[in-house]
Structure 1
């Protein structure tokens, strides 16, 4: 029996919540993790019509890209639209999960999918993410006490590198010390020079865990005064990050690129900024409404930038920077990925019925005959 917890676990593997922006509201936002799931729906935005669809389909879970309760909710009543939505979901036992910017930024997420859809090469994050601030702790231990000291360090949270735990480096050597009369050395005697075999033990830990790690080290170490070195480490990119950019195998014009994006995203019309004849070799990508990534794209040498929608002044800025900007629409740059996510969940849980919403559509419509439609 598949539960909400089981599905959430897989979603967190596909799009780790640690990749989400700090301001975001991601993860399981509504529901009971122990609840069984036999039917799920994915969507870009959980609106009233999608909620009604989920109720009619007998779904127990909706995976929505855009979070519900993105802003603080002070009242949940039928008198308010968000209250009616939440009450409908609650009364029908429908859980809600949102991956949002974790899915945007994931290694197989929306921006990566867009880059691969356009056959870019040398794909990398527009805003690389660095790992947490870390330090390296070095101590020197008699060989017979290495194991308990290392175990104490690991238990305190040290020795974690990515998905690996209990990491350390160990090197044999000789240590010397001369204990004064007031000392009580664990090895040898005070008042004379001692030479002892020691193992140099190195581990990394998060900077905010250093006090706990040092306390555990001193408690487990056999020496009265263990020698300890602490080295600050420069944060380095961990391979993840927000947005993407990449290079075309052959240069294309902005006009050609706009037509290619329109074809791939099935959009009959696309807005763009720039000279259609300008040559593009490198493209920046940030799905949704991400005009704030324009400067990042320019910084890494992109001649064009793809996002769903942007403010008027961002378009002016793109023109001033000489960067072509392509705007297929918010819906077009993200909805396709929720269809792909439904397929991934279906492949992982073959016993569960998973489909993208059939009622969801882009709220923005275009027409080539607006004047005649309004009677002009």
Structure 2
């Protein structure tokens, strides 16, 4: 019998790299329909939760849909099953399919939509376009018997602790003597009940983002031999990673506008896109925002972008950008479909690492509402 993960556990894996607190204020993320308190044999990753997507989930015996765009953007006053939204909710509830939305938190995280779009465009030396969140740093100090030093170091490093710039698994180790007396009811790894024990130990110190603290502590405890692990956590004033909406970076070689348009069409598999021509005849520095890019015209200008690639631009904002000289490529909101395969692979790997056999699939339904005729 396969070992299936609980819905809550699957979402905890997702929120370990895209926590809710990263979301833009007011964004309706999280559980939207159903319950996570159940075993999940199959998860489906979707961009949108349309009726066709729900029908696909029903046919595929899916237990949980993780979507980028929330099904419920605004509170419902009633569930009328004669409406399209009501039908979707009815089908989800009748077939016990839960829906969880990871929207701007999945945009903002460094393992998320805008990072994936920047990678697809082959941008180098990327940075955040518009900062919305700074990940605070903490220091972990844990006391470990020498026999398990490398095991614990590897565990916390593999969980994400010890990243400083382009270096990973950074730690500092000092030696000492640990003392403890196992009391009644304990089952000590070292020593005997009622006797003071002295053990040669090392103190391992490492820095980590607060957002992955739970995951690192969990990994540390699993690797540690002691029944009760002695460790400390210290908040730090060091500046953490800045996260936010959009990315900006450079192409490996300069392109003219037509060359860059063809590049965008090729990497996103597009036959058509809209172009607002600015003043730059050559493209080197590129900003990208997967969804609605209307608020990010001026951040792109401020950071020196030659072009902004985005999913939605309004008519009058296009005029404003053109007057300012910024070229914009409106590639369509649907370019965010990149999250289906990327999130599938990421979640699948995390479940495999924890030895769960829950299946992760992506929706094959194309939810782009626009057609070119």
Give TM-score, length-normalised by structure 2: 0.69
CA contact (8 A) 1:39 1:352 kept: yes
CA contact (8 A) 2:134 2:243 kept: no
1:52: how far off? 1.2
**Distance of 1:77 and 1:63 partners within structure 2:** 24
Residue 68 of structure 2 aligns to a residue whose secondary structure is strand
Residue 126 of structure 1 aligns to a residue whose secondary structure is strand
**1:296-375 alignment to 2 at 5 Å?**
296-331=299-334, 333-350=335-352, 351-367=357-373
**1:185-196 alignment to 2 at 5 Å?**
none
CA contact (8 A) 1:128 1:237 kept: no
The alignment's C-alpha RMSD in Å is 2.6
Task: Please name the residue that 2:126 is paired with.
Answer: 123
**Distance of 1:50 and 1:119 partners within structure 2:** 30
Deviations along 1:154-186, one digit per CA (max 9) or x if unpaired, are: xxxxxx973669xxxxxxxxxxxxxxxxxxxxx
**Higher mean displacement: 339-348 or 85-94:** 339-348
1:32: how far off? 1.9
Task: Please name the residue that 1:34 is paired with.
Answer: 37
Residue 301 of structure 1 aligns to a residue whose secondary structure is coil
**Distance of 2:287 and 2:81 partners within structure 1:** 43
Task: Please name the residue that 2:152 is paired with.
Answer: none
Task: Please name the residue that 1:84 is paired with.
Answer: 87
1:18: how far off? 1.5
Task: Please name the residue that 2:101 is paired with.
Answer: 98
Does 2:64 match 1:61? yes
Does 2:52 match 1:49? yes
Task: Please name the residue that 1:20 is paired with.
Answer: 23
Deviations along 1:293-327, one digit per CA (max 9) or x if unpaired, are: 11110011111101012101121112111111001
With CA pairs under 8 Å and 6+ residues apart, which has the higher RCO, 1 or 2? Answer: 2
Residue 24 of structure 2 aligns to a residue whose secondary structure is coil
Residue 93 of structure 1 aligns to a residue whose secondary structure is coil
Give TM-score, length-normalised by structure 1: 0.68
Residue 78 of structure 1 aligns to a residue whose secondary structure is coil
CA contact (8 A) 2:46 2:68 kept: yes
Task: Please name the residue that 2:163 is paired with.
Answer: none
Misfit runs of 4+, over 6 Å: none
1:237: how far off? 6.5
Residue 297 of structure 1 aligns to a residue whose secondary structure is helix
**Higher mean displacement: 80-89 or 50-59:** 80-89
Describe the shift of the 1:128–1:241 C-alpha distance in structure 2 as closer, same or farther (beyond 3 A): same
**1:239-318 alignment to 2 at 5 Å?**
239-274=242-277, 278-318=281-321
**Distance of 2:80 and 2:213 partners within structure 1:** 47
CA contact (8 A) 1:4 1:36 kept: yes
Task: Please name the residue that 1:228 is paired with.
Answer: none
**Distance of 1:130 and 1:15 partners within structure 2:** 12
**Higher mean displacement: 276-285 or 114-123:** 276-285
CA contact (8 A) 2:248 2:285 kept: yes
1:328: how far off? 1.1
Describe the shift of the 1:302–1:37 C-alpha distance in structure 2 as closer, same or farther (beyond 3 A): same
**Distance of 1:96 and 1:164 partners within structure 2:** 26
Asked which structure has the greater CA Rg, the reply is 1
Deviations along 1:266-313, one digit per CA (max 9) or x if unpaired, are: 001111111697112211111112221111100111111010121011
**Distance of 1:305 and 1:247 partners within structure 2:** 12
Deviations along 1:323-344, one digit per CA (max 9) or x if unpaired, are: 110011111x201222221222
Residue 107 of structure 1 aligns to a residue whose secondary structure is coil
Describe the shift of the 1:132–1:6 C-alpha distance in structure 2 as closer, same or farther (beyond 3 A): closer
CA contact (8 A) 1:254 1:276 kept: no
**Distance of 1:357 and 1:249 partners within structure 2:** 33
Q: What are structure 2's unaligned runs of at least 5 residues?
A: 137-207, 215-233
Describe the shift of the 1:3–1:44 C-alpha distance in structure 2 as closer, same or farther (beyond 3 A): same
Deviations along 1:2-27, one digit per CA (max 9) or x if unpaired, are: 11111101111232222111020112
